[in-house]
Chains A and B, each alone.
Chain A
Amino acid sequence: MAEITYRNASCLYENSDTLAVDSLNLDIQDGEFVVLVGPSGSGKSTALRMLAGLEDIDEGSISIGGRDMVGVPSKDRDIAMVFQNYALYPNKTVAENMGFALKMRGVGADERRRKVEQAAKLLDLTDYLDRKPAKLSGGQRQRVAMGRAIVREPQVFCMDEPLSNLDAKLRVQTRTQIAALQRRLGTTTVYVTHDQVEAMTMGDRVAVLRGGKLQQFSSPTELYDRPANAFVAGFIGSPAMNLLDARIVDGGVQIGSTVVDVERDRIASLHRAGLETVTVGIRPEQLEITDGDGVETIVELVEELGSESYVYTRVARSDTPLVARSLTRTPARLADTIRLRKREGTVHLFHPATGERVGD
């Protein structure tokens, strides 16, 4: 049983006066696939390395399966890690790479070979067992790194951006394979990435970090539908959610010369909070081009993706950018003036100063 608990875990790097990870609290269940995501410098890798024992836990604690890990060296944590650059042993063959941990544990040669072959079969590496890493392609090396982790049958997998060295197509393919493999093995996994698509597609739950602090820890759909603050709202989703400051008026919020309607009780709660302006979040797919009433905008760029297109605009007579999705081809041309209307569904509202979600 390997549930993982971060309790106010903090890490301070030498020569730095800000915490790389600041009082992180996470409860990860046994068998769960958790993704830590955030921009660079958000502390996601550090948080993972603290779990792996490669970085000190300066304050607070991390426990695995109820056992406190403060001061426990990596080798005694029963954790396997997949590194961004794979860190395969270049002087060992694929089989030796995968069997090294078992050898260290004193597992006999026969047993070792059996387990390595089993894992190799799972990862389609059987033909490469006698090769050195230098003779493998990037994708194969990535799989050897995975194999090295799963051969050990550890309590926890730690993966630090394992796909970032692969090309785009292979990355998408491997993404689903890793997720499927994890479900099959049922091993608790903590996965670090800066790619929000990876986070959304792979994780049972996703922890969004920024500046060492946890922003939100919930399921991908929850992150998308109810971002806890403006940062999460802008980070999850591509293209990013439109975030703009707007004045609160009767029945809604004012964008440009148009009023976008917001439910009555949410407006009331904004008033109760004493707010006059609010940060409004509208996803591009919540906006559509209309011939009728709408926010008047000027087209700056049109991105055609084939199945859909994104129209990048600026609100007329202001500097506010606004992105809308359109399901028709060539919905507008550069420098056209178009009107955007909010489709069904509600907008997100955030406190203009703190960025916290408000008005629910």
Chain B
Amino acid sequence: MSTTAPTAQQVPTPETVPVRTRKRKHRRANPWGVVAWIAALGFFFPVFWMVLTAFKQEADAYSDPPKFFFTPTLDQFRAVFDTGVGVSLLNSAFATGVSTILVLLLGVPAAFALSLRPVRKTKDALFFFISTKMLPIVAAIIPLYVIVANIGLLDNIWALIILYTAMNLPIAVWMMRSFFLEVPGELLEAASMDGANLWTSVREVILPLVSPGIAATALICVIFSWNEFFFAVNLTAVQAQTIPVFLVGFITGEGLYWARLSAAATMAALPVVLAGWLAQNKLVRGLSFGAIK
């Protein structure tokens, strides 16, 4: 079977003209592009200032007018480490990591079932998941506190892991479902005709396709868990303290030390930025398939 050369290309197409004008239009400064740049810089500046301040001496941090050029120092980071940030960082990392893994282990199969193998009442199940996010957490904190106290998990990192898993699971199911819905059902059928059982077809065919979705979902879970404050401040004290709680404590304790506070905040923000940067590759690749037509 051979394809003949398409004759359409030999015919001069009228398309060539609009393409050229489109290009020229593109080169002209787009007012929305300028607005976008201003907005982006506006959003980025506080973060930039925080990082900059973290490398200053306290005297430089206080100077008026603000200093852009100074001798950078790691003193502030050393000082933050001396106050015991390490435990909080470890707690946050542990709670974030374990809860994200749990969410993916539970949420990905659930989303698969709710999209590619829909059952009766699929809509109801989906609504149930999202409805758990409708109650304000504040309204639930007292019963939660009582329950956590009764089972003896106060100031225990596992209490946070359970809560973070429950908190992120609905989002993960909904997100993953939308990725699974883009997988053509025929792929599963083709795999089953090729002799693959369910597990093999999921591993060999479906998972490679939805891996960008899994990366995106994991990133969202990491961000939400890492930054979570309300549960952490109410259910932990010293042992299980996470980094947002530590930061707040730091503000009250050392609120006047701008540079040191900036260093602590920078350290708290760094892991999430790193996670986003690592996932970016997968995220950008997106879901351009080529399986269909």
- Show the binding face of A for B, using Cβ within 8 Å: 52-54, 73-75, 79-81, 83, 85-91, 100-101, 104-105, 123-124, 132-135, 137-141, 143, 148, 152, 165, 169-170, 173-174, 177
Asked if B15 is at the interface (CB within 8 A of a chain A CB), the reply is no
Is the pair A75, B197 in contact by a Cβ cutoff of 8 Å? Answer: yes
Contacts of B3 in A (CB 8 A): 137, 139-140, 170
Interface string of B194-209 (1 = CB under 8 A from A): 1111001000110011
Q: Does B284 reach chain A (CB closer than 8 Å)?
A: no
Residue of A85, A143, A170 near B184 (CB, 8 A) is A85
In the complex, besides A52-B189, A73-B192, A88-B291, 9 extra interface pairs with C-beta distance below 8 angstroms are A75-B195, A75-B196, A81-B190, A87-B291, A87-B292, A101-B195, A104-B196, A134-B288, A152-B194
Beyond A75-B195, A75-B196, A90-B209, whether A83 also contacts B289 by CB under 8 A is no
Q: A87-B189, A89-B187 given as contacts; is B293 within 8 A of A148 (CB)? A: no
Which B residues are in CB contact (< 8 Å) with A79? 193
Q: Indicate which residue in A52, A133, A134, A177 contacts B193 across the interface (CB closer than 8 Å).
A: A52
Q: Verify A85–B200 contact, CB threshold 8 A.
A: no
- For A74, A87, A138, A143, the residue with the greatest tally of chain B CB atoms inside 10 Å of its CB is A87
Q: Does B2 contact A (CB under 8 A)?
A: yes
How far does the alpha carbon of A73 sit from the alpha carbon of B198 in the complex, in Å? 12
> In the complex, what's the smallest C-beta–C-beta distance from A75 to chain B, in angstroms?
4
Cβ contacts under 8 Å, A165 to chain B = 293
Residue B290, interface by CB 8 Å: yes
* Neighbouring B residues of A105 by C-beta, 8 Å: 195
How many whole Å from B279's CB to the nearest CB in chain A? 19
Q: In the bound complex, do residue B192 and residue A89 qualify as a contact, i.e. CB atoms below 8 Å apart? A: no
Across the interface, B186 reaches (CB within 8 A) one of A75, A87, A91, namely A87
Q: How far is the CA of A140 from the CA of B191 in the complex (A)?
A: 20
**B interface residue count range (under 10 / 10 to 19 / 20 to 34 / 35 or more):** 20 to 34
- Contact status A100-B293, CB under 8 Å: no
Return A250 CB to nearest CB of chain B, in Å: 58
The chain A residue sitting closest to B207, CB to CB, is A91
Answer whether residue B1 sits at the interface, using C-beta atoms and an 8 A cutoff: yes
Chain A to chain B contacts (Cβ below 8 Å), 23 pairs:
A53-B193, A54-B189, A74-B192, A75-B192, A83-B186, A83-B190, A85-B293, A86-B292, A87-B184, A87-B292, A88-B190, A90-B291, A100-B191, A104-B194, A104-B195, A104-B196, A124-B1, A133-B290, A134-B290, A135-B290, A137-B3, A139-B3, A143-B1
Interface of B is mostly: loop
Please provide the 4 A-B residue pairs with the shortest distance between their CB atoms, ordered closest to farther. Answer: A134-B290, A87-B186, A101-B194, A104-B195
Among B1, B195, B205, contact of A177 (Cβ-Cβ < 8 Å): B1
Q: A52-B193, A83-B186, A105-B195 are in contact. Are A132 and B290 (CB under 8 A)?
A: yes
Closest to A89 in B: B205
- The interface centre, meaning the residue of B190, B204, B290 with most chain A CB atoms within 10 A of its CB, is B190
Residues of B within 8 A of A143 (CB): 1
Interface contact B194-A148, CB-CB below 8 Å: yes
Question: Once bound together, how far apart are the Cα atoms of A282 and B209, in whole Å?
Answer: 54
Q: Which residue of the partner chain A has the closest CB to B189?
A: A54
Output the nearest chain A residue to B287 by Cβ-Cβ distance. A90
Instruction: Indicate if the CB atoms of A74 and B193 lie closer than 8 Å.
Output: yes
Q: Which residue of B lies closest to A143 (CB)?
A: B1
Docked-complex contact A75 and B193, CB < 8 angstroms: yes
- Interface residues in B180-228 (C-beta closer than 8 Å to A): 184, 186-187, 189-197, 200, 204-205, 208-209
Instruction: Give A135 to B289 CA distance when docked, in angstroms.
Output: 11
B193 touches A124 (CB 8 A): no
Q: Which residues of A contact B184 (CB under 8 A)?
A: 85, 87
> Which residue of chain A has its CB nearest to the CB of B205?
A89
Whole-angstrom CA separation of A123 from B2 in the bound complex? 8
B194, B204, B205, B293 pick with most chain A CB within 10 angstroms: B194
* A87 and B195 within 8 A (CB): no
List, in ascending order, chain A residues with CB within 8 A of B195's CB: 75, 101, 104-105
Q: How far is the CB of B290 from chain A (nearest CB, A)?
A: 3
A123's partner among B1, B288, B290, B293 (CB-CB below 8 A) is B1
Contact partners of A87 in chain B: CB under 8 A: 184, 186-187, 189-190, 291-292
Minimal beta-carbon separation of B50 from chain A (angstroms): 41
Report the Cα distance A261→B193, complex, angstroms. Answer: 55
Q: Write out, one digit per residue, whether chain B residues 276-290 have a CB within 8 A of any chain A CB (1) or not (0).
A: 000000000000111
Give Cα A177–Cα B221 distance, bound, in whole angstroms.
52
In the complex, which residue of chain B has the Cβ closest to the Cβ of A170?
B3
User: Which residues, 49 to 98 on B, are CB-close (under 8 Å) to A?
Assistant: none
Pick the contact of B189: A74, A138, A169 (CB < 8 A).
A74
* Bound-state Cα–Cα, A53 to B190, Å: 11
* Bound CA–CA A148/B196 (angstroms): 14
A158 to chain B, nearest CB (A): 8
Contacts of A75 in B (CB 8 A): 192-197
> A123: which B residues are within 8 A, CB to CB?
1
In the complex, what distance in Å separates the CA atom of A113 from the CA atom of B189? 24
* Min CB gap B233→A, angstroms: 44
CB-CB under 8 A from A86, the residues of chain B are 291-293
The CA-CA distance from A135 to B208 in the complex, in Å, is 18
Chain A neighbourhood of B208, CB < 8 A: 91
